[in-house]
Amino acid sequence: MKTEVIIFLSFLFLTFDSYSQVKTTTIELGSNIKITSSIESFNPKNHEIDTCDTGLGWKAICLIDNNPVFGTDHNMPKYQLLKLTIKINNATIPLCTDYMYDLNWDNSIRKDQFLFKKDEVGYSLYGFFSDGAGSYGVCWKIINNKSFRLIITNSEWFYEINK
């Protein structure tokens, strides 16, 4: 009886884990520098979705929760970035992730999506995201263990930074 209960509970926990919608990924950018993300499946039922007329006979998603959308070509996002933190030495610093969707095709972060630079004062962290459509870039400034999102853009000029 005890063995059957353990097997049942193990199966139950594995089932919950496999249906979990939040995926957490940690990558190392360098010595004592790590980035951790939490990404979940986007559920449109939990959001206010606004569309705009394109003038081409179809409507595009232009706002989610009254904010601009980054990561899609005006269609419904598949994933939403819930949380992004950078750990520099022993300090864990949250990064603003508002309006950030569909970071890439596999619902996780990769080292090649980031560029981390030491500045005269603090650091700059650049993020480059695309799932094949709706590419965008982000720049955060980190000073005294505080972060500030300076740029979020879908403009092509931003990708010149990474060359």
Mean pLDDT by 10 residues, the chain (163 residues): 45 41 93 96 95 90 94 90 96 96 90 94 94 88 97 86 62
What is the rounded CA–CA span in Å between residue 123 and residue 49?
A: 35
pLDDT tens for each residue of 57-74: 889 999 999 999 999 888
Q: Which helix (H) or strand (E) holds 131?
A: none
| pLDDT value at residue 163 | 56
Tokens read off for 21:
């919608």
Q: Which helix (H) or strand (E) holds 41?
A: strand 33-41
What is the rounded CA–CA span in Å between residue 99 and residue 80?
A: 8
Question: What are the structural domain ranges in the chain?
Answer: 21-162
What is the rounded CA–CA span in Å between residue 82 and residue 92?
A: 16
Q: Do the strands 123-129 and 91-95 form a parallel or antiparallel pair, or are they unpaired?
A: unpaired
pTM above 0.95, yes or no: no
Are 24 and 38 within 8 A, CB to CB?
yes
